[in-house]
Structure 1
């Protein structure tokens, strides 16, 4: 079953220095029926104004994945660690109790655009505090996984996160690990198709809940960039 969640249904914020779209409850946006999906707690697309910053803050025990779409960001923690991430790169932060984290748009003239995901972290797992990977330009790249398969970022959770780039008319099939997944169009329009030939159309910024499907095929109606988050737990 595929249940779309359009960009227009998502929560929105405009603070001047920050513009954001929230898939699930976040900040001032609250919907008691949308507190997350399986272990996926947060899925935001945010644009930070030039030289803008998120001040240091602590987090629950989550893995935070930042996928930079445009611009360059610097991330710091209260232990003195810092890393810069540019467009075409993704950073995974394994948050720790008592440590605060900040984010800064390094450009004084251009906005920073990125996707941010929070995934609940298993309490018994400990991973490197910071991990970074570059996109490889392939039609489907495993961006994050529980065991770091194929050079992917290593999560503290049973989740497989795929970055998808398709040209118009191309398709990509996926075998899912369990009963739940979430699909997000970053740019472009697509059709998501199940083996039972259920078909749903998504356009730029739309997402979709995937339930009780073992396979899913994405068909690009225009040039497409998106994320498929396989959430069996």
Structure 2
């Protein structure tokens, strides 16, 4: 089935320096029924004010994927490593035990807008600590995968993440590797239809739980950017 979770149903935060929308329980937002979905632990959209930062903190054993939608961020770990990522780029951090990480909007005038995902990492897998790539303007890009296929970022988990960039009226059908997936509209309106159940319409900021579908057909009603997170495990 396809079950919509609208942007209005998500957790919200406005701290002045940070505005956020939380799909799953995070920080002050807690819902015991929404602690994640399969290995997807966190799916946030956050806006950091110019010059704002997240102070150093440690993380559980997760892969953190950041998609920069606007602005430029600097990430630093407690070993002294730094990386800068700007608009239209994706950064994957393979968190390490004992290391802390910080994030700063390095612009003094432009907000930093990004999507952030946390995915449980298999403890026996070890990948590069930092990977990044540019988001494609093509209709479909395999953004992350377990084996780095098609030049994608390599995850420490059996998950495939697709970045979609469709003009209005275009349709795309994708096969799924297992019984679960999550669909997230970054901006734009789309219809999502599976093989076995009635479809749903999503608009900017909406998401949808996908269950027991082998294939998913997406049609952009307006210019669309979206993520499809294939979660067979």
TM normalised by structure 2 equals 0.99
Report the equivalent of 2:223.
223
Q: Which residue of 2 aligns with 1:74?
A: 74
Gaps of 5+ in 1: none
Instruction: Tell me the distance in 2 between the aligned counterparts of 1:13 and 1:135.
Output: 27
Task: Give the Å deviation of 1:195.
Answer: 1.8
Paired with 1:135 and 1:45, the residues of 2 have a C-alpha distance of: 17
Note the residue ranges of structure 2 that are not aligned, 5 or more in a row.
Answer: none
In the TM superposition, residue 198 of structure 1 has moved relative to its aligned partner by: 1.6
Name the residue aligned to 2:198: 198
SS at match of 1:150: helix
Structure 2 equivalent of residue 153 of structure 1 = 153
1:9 — aligned with what?
A: 9
Cα root mean square deviation, aligned: 0.6
Q: When the two structures are superposed, what TM-score results if normalisation uses the length of structure 1?
A: 0.99
Residues 28-47 of structure 1: pairs in structure 2 closer than 5 A? 28-47=28-47
Equivalent pairs counted in the alignment come to: 233
**CA shift at 1:21, angstroms?**
0.1
Name the structure 2 match of 1:62.
62
Alpha-carbon distance in 1 for matches of 2:96, 2:50 = 28
- For residues 136 and 209 of structure 2, the distance between their equivalents in structure 1, rounded to whole angstroms, comes to 26
- Tell me the distance in 1 between the aligned counterparts of 2:188 and 2:215: 22
Mapping of residues 89-128 of structure 1, within 5 Å: 89-128=89-128
Aligned position for 1:136: 136
- The structure 1 segments of at least 4 consecutive aligned residues displaced by more than 2 Å after TM superposition are none
> Which residue is 1:168 aligned to?
168
Aligned-partner SS, 1:123: coil
Q: Distance in 2 between matches of 1:170 and 1:68?
A: 24
Deviation at 1:50, TM superposition (A): 0.2
